[in-house]
Amino acid sequence: MLFRHDALAEWTKSSYSAVNGDCVEVKSQDHLLIGVRDSKDISRPGLGFSAETWTAFVLDVSGR
């Protein structure tokens, strides 16, 4: 999931969400940090990744 950092001011669910909607959500918390959380339990704290690390992860799992 590559995105413009300003495009994710709100939590955005992965386009690969299951039929029931359970998946991960991402949010650009600032220009340097990407937040990731479990959509099934949004009360729990999420994880934070640098934009560089998140982009590398997405490119790796997408096979690009």
CA distance 59 to 56: 5
DSSP string, 2-48: ---GGG-SS-EE-TT--TT--SEEEEE-SSSEEEEEETT-TTS--EE
Q: Where are the domains of the chain?
A: 5-62
Q: What is the pLDDT of residue 41?
A: 86
Q: Which residues pair with 28 in a beta bridge?
A: 34
pLDDT by residue for the chain (64 residues), tens only, comes to: 455 545 567 888 877 666 666 788 888 877 778 899 888 888 888 899 998 898 898 889 888 7
Query: The pTM is what?
Result: 0.69
User: 29 and 11 in contact (C-beta within 8 Å)?
Assistant: no
Q: Tokens standing for 20?
A: 């029931």
